Amino acid sequence: MKSEEIAEIVSQMTLEEKASLCSGKDFWHTKDIRRLGIREIMMADGPNGLRKQEGACDHLGVNESVEAVCFPTGSALGASFDRELLQNVGDILGNECRAESVAILLGPGVNMKRSPLCGRNFEYFSEDPYLASELAAAEIQGVQAHHIGCCIKHFLANNQEQFRMSISSEVDERTLREIYLGAFENAVKKGKPWSVMSSYNRINGEYVADSRKFLTEILREEWGFEGAVITDWGGVSDRILGLRAGLDLEMPSSYGVNDKRITEAVKSGELEIEILDEAIRRILKLITDFEEGKEKNAVFDREKDHLAAGEIAAQCAVLLKNEGILPLHDTQTVAFIGQYAFAPRYQGGGSSHINSFKVDSAFEILRGNPNVKFVQGYCDEDESQSGMLREEALQTASESDAAVIFAGLPDNYEIEGQDRTHMKMPEQQIRLIEEVARVNSNVAVVLHNGSPIEMPWLDKVNAVLEMYLGGEGCGRAACDLLYGKTNPSGRLAETFPMKLEDNPSYLYYHRGRDKAEYREGIYVGYRYYDTKNIPVLFPFGHGLSYTNFAYSNLGLSEKRITDMDLLDVTVDVCNTGSLPGKEVVLLFVAPPDTGTINRPAKELKEFSKVELKPGESRSVKFTLSKRAFAYYEESIHDWYVEKGKYRILICKSAQEVLLEGELEVYPEKEVTEVFDLTTPIGIILKDPVGQQVLGELMAAKKPRTGAGRDRPGEKDNGKMLEAMTAQLPLRALLSFRDMGIGHAKLQQIIDKINLMRSDKCVK
Ligand code: BGC
């Protein structure tokens, strides 16, 4: 519907009707206004399937929803590093929504994985903002092609479940920009979601739901977001402040309370009607955009989507370790051990929980295979059985050529509303793995978990296949990967630290009820481990294949560019093994060694996934722009490229650089520091103008600082004094009486220096 038609409807609405449209009719619907032909629309979770609740609705998905297909959760999808795959997932979900008349899918979730403990990490893609944002954009495009809206969530800095509805995330501006806003930026700019979900938490004391800075200035004015902002369920702080800030729709219903509040606020002059009209226009647009796609005939073919879910899961799994035992051979006898071989753990708990159409388990897939035996091994629900189940498993493992243990985290470890307190697997599973490894020397572990775990048993097993929470088709996917029908191609979108204490947020996470202090700043995930050289269990980007790839011919289109130019990077990738496979090509940028800014050792700036037959070679091309080299400079509230030599790194993981090239980048408009009386003399003398004016003056007046002169018997003393002089603030020259410079004169000198440099000065 055109904006004029929407404006026409708005002009016919009474104040009460407008106020009523600003909140839900019930848990999932907007209100309808029959008199004006305004229909209600339905929303549903998200993100990894359709949780359409009919009848009694509840907050956390306890009540049954319509049977649907459960796709791999965010952490698995993140590990695909595959935009096309995400677009395909979106396409399937969009079609399902259309068939079920759901207008808005509440997802994807792009929050950063600040700590491995966050209870909802399984719903999120990555610890890297660029990766998360790009994958989200692709999924959004897939969904929205069906005239179904996405509601990307949870905006912003919502990185823990504990006290999620009240905690204040205390984050500095640069960290917000580079990490937490970064996860949403391209998703919004490229994906153009119909809606954004404001998170429950506060940021630096202010509720996101009340924040004009985030909901209007950044989201709309800077990023060009044209959709509606919807509250997280029950996430309104002050309804009037919220409307003023750019918060359009309150969900679910406030049962008339806030409708009345809005009406009164307009009548009393507390809220301008224009602001309310703007929110109404955005909400009406959601409704009319959905209506426009209504002619599309969609069918929810659960069987077909179930098969797709399995294929997608296989593209997401990460082969973490393989000392030659995978793929398995049909002729080998194999003990399949573990409760999750019968009932995989394939999704998390809470609002994303899908009432799954059917679930493939390894047992279902391989039960007819005479070479495979299944034993339960452990029971999450009843540890008292562990001894007996372990004995049975050891017996079967000792009689088999190989053993595959399905392990990971039980259901209640990863749920909405609660964070983990440790990264450990249940003790009975650890013991099972260790003991099986003692009786069989060919052991593979298949993992079902939504976030990193510690693996004290890693050295004792030969292979580890990380399935994450791979959705309802993950049993088939795991079998296909184990037997080599599919070649693993996933890569970790997050670091697996050795232990929880190594994580950069460890000292600050869960340390307060009122404030969550993000003191690790921009050093999230690999940005920290890599820069600090901290050994990790598996680095960001890690993932093995059954084939090999060789990289060559790294080419940069330029050797020197300004921050306004583009740089093309090309690299050849060849499948040198004997199986077809997919390779994720990772491009990181490392900042100049000469830089004065505190920056991570390298950051992911591009990625691509290519499919290659044995012997096939492909040239992969990336185009980098300013952002690939920039950091967020707080003093100018903008992105800035420090001049210097940047390295382009083509990597296998964050810890393995394969090829590297270098180029010089310089800003078209250089930020120049304004000097004052407190600026160290050494800094002023390093500047050409400063050297010319102050250097000459000091040479002429020769203050007796002693710099440059050694005292007898004290070698290098002059150097020391020179260094000490360089540290002196300019005003210290006032105390060198032999220079004869007073305060007014010194101020004139520094003003002159600043003026001479001012044509370049933007700060
Ligand atoms: C969650 C959202 C979810 C909403 C509706 C909230 O508690 O935080 O992610 O979309 O409920 O179920």
Residue 700 is predicted with a pLDDT of: 82
233-267: burial string, b at 16+ Cβ within 10 Å, e else:
bebbbebbbbbbbbbbbbbbbbeeebbebbbebbe
Tens of pLDDT, residues 402-458? 999 999 999 999 999 999 999 999 999 999 999 999 999 999 999 999 999 999 999
Q: Is 35 exposed, middle or buried (0-12, 13-18, 19+ CB in 10 A)?
A: exposed
Tens of pLDDT, residues 633-657? 999 999 999 999 999 999 999 999 9
What secondary structure, in 3-state letters, does 57-98 show?
Answer: CCCCCCCCCCCECCCCCHHHHHHHCCHHHHHHHHHHHHHHHH
Does 146 have pLDDT greater than 70? yes
Q: Is 164 in the pocket of ligand 1 (CB under 6 A)?
A: no
Q: Is 45 in the pocket of ligand 1 (CB under 6 A)?
A: yes
Q: Is 466 in the pocket of ligand 1 (CB under 6 A)?
A: no
Percentage of residues of the chain with pLDDT beyond 70: 96
Q: Is 43 in the pocket of ligand 1 (CB under 6 A)?
A: no
Does 697 have pLDDT greater than 90? no
How many angstroms separate the CA atoms of 658 and 236, rounded? 49
Tens of pLDDT, residues 209-265? 999 999 999 999 999 999 999 999 999 999 999 999 999 999 999 999 999 999 999
Tens of pLDDT, residues 186-199? 999 999 999 999 99
Q: Is 351 in the pocket of ligand 1 (CB under 6 A)?
A: yes
Residue 762 is predicted with a pLDDT of: 41
Pocket test for ligand 1, best of 29, 42, 43, 45 (most atoms within 8 A of CB): 45
Do the bridges between strand 631-633 and strand 515-517 make them parallel or antiparallel, or are there none, so unpaired? unpaired
Q: What residues are paired with 570 via a beta bridge?
A: 555, 621
Mean pLDDT for the stretch of residues 498-522: 97
Q: How far away, in angstroms, is 530 Cα from ligand 1 center?
A: 34
Name the active-site residue from 210, 232, 380, 419: 232
Residue 638 annotated as catalytic: no
Q: For all residues of the chain together, what is the average pLDDT?
A: 95
Residue 533 is predicted with a pLDDT of: 97
How many angstroms separate the CA atoms of 159 and 181, rounded? 12
Does 759 have pLDDT greater than 70? no
Nearest CA, atom 2, ligand 1: 232
Nearest CA, atom 8, ligand 1: 232
Q: How far away, in angstroms, is 474 Cα from ligand 1 center?
A: 25
Q: At 33, is the pLDDT very low, low, confident or very high (cuts 50, 70, 90)? A: very high
Q: How far away, in angstroms, is 93 Cα from ligand 1 center?
A: 18
Cβ pair 193, 137 in contact under 8 A: no
How many angstroms separate the CA atoms of 85 and 312, rounded? 7
Q: Is 520 in the pocket of ligand 1 (CB under 6 A)?
A: no
Pocket test for ligand 1, best of 50, 200, 232, 236 (most atoms within 8 A of CB): 232
Pocket test for ligand 1, best of 27, 52, 105, 351 (most atoms within 8 A of CB): 351
pTM: predicted TM-score of the whole model, two decimal places = 0.95
